[in-house]
Each structure stands twice: as structure tokens, then as C-alpha cells.
Structure 1
Amino acid sequence: MNQSGLEQPVSLDRNALLKEKVARFEELKKRHDAGEEGLIDELRELHTSVERLRGDHTKEAGE
């Protein structure tokens, strides 16, 4: 893998975004465990955003 200065910020940004997604998931799980209902739309949105991040990663790896 190329160690150019341009590549590292992208990885750091992706890691930061993934950490945000994990924190969001943990928040939703706590709300679910507390008995809150109707979280499916938020979970779907979170899932879609993670899949989008994964797709971006796959595209970069192929370049």
C-alpha cells in the first residue's frame, strides 16, 4: 500500500466516522434495552451509512 501523505487522512477520517457509527449503535442499543420502540428506521439508516463507508473503502482499495 502506498504511504503517501494523501492516503493517511482518508484512513483517519474513515476511522473517525466508524467510531461515530459504533457510538451511535451503542446508543441505540441502550435505548432498545431500556424498552424504547420504533428504532428500526434509525438502525437502517446507520446500517446504510456503514455500508456506504465500506463501499468507499472497497473502491479505494481497487485503485
Structure 2
Amino acid sequence: MNKKTWFRAYTWALVCVLVSLILYAGLLPRMISSDSSFLVLLGIFIAMLYPAGVVRLFSKYIKEIKQ
């Protein structure tokens, strides 16, 4: 484990927090309450897929940090 791994994990954590704020506070509520059924389904899909992507991204860094 080196400092570069910690820095990358910290940077990605900040990016994920900012994206989460934008998605869950602004974009997704508007998409889900939209009149268009496509936007509603897209909002639900993003709301379900985004956390899985974050877990997958950080699992790589957690494995590197544990070693």
C-alpha cells in the first residue's frame, strides 16, 4: 500500500459524494416526478445502478489498502 492508492481512493470518494449530491438532491427527483415515462424509468435505473458502481469502484481500492 502506498500514498498514491490512498490519494486516489480519497479523490474518488470526494467525486462520488459530489455526484451523489447532484443526483439525489437535484436530478433524480426531477426525473422520477417527470411526466415522461422514459425519464421516470431512466431515473429509477440510475438510482439503482449508481450505488452498485460506487461499490465496485471502491472494492478495488479496499483490496489494495488491505494488502
Output the TM-score relative to the length of structure 1.
Answer: 0.63
Q: Tell me if 1:13 matches 2:8.
A: yes
Paired residues of 1:21 and 1:50 also in contact (CA < 8 A): yes
1:11-41 deviations in whole A, cap 9, x for unaligned?
1111111111111111112123444534222
Whether 1:62 aligns to 2:58 is no
Please identify, of 22-31 and 33-42, the stretch whose mean Cα deviation from structure 2 is larger: 33-42
Greater RCO structure (CA 8 Å; 6+ sep): 2
Q: Percent identity?
A: 14
TM-score w.r.t. length of structure 2: 0.61
Work out which of the residue numbers 6, 16, 28 in structure 2 matches 1:32: 28
Which residue of the other structure, out of 40, 45, 52, is the alignment partner of 2:49?
Answer: 45
* 5+ residue gaps, structure 1: none
> What is the number of equivalent residue pairs in this alignment?
58
Pairwise CA RMSD: 2.2
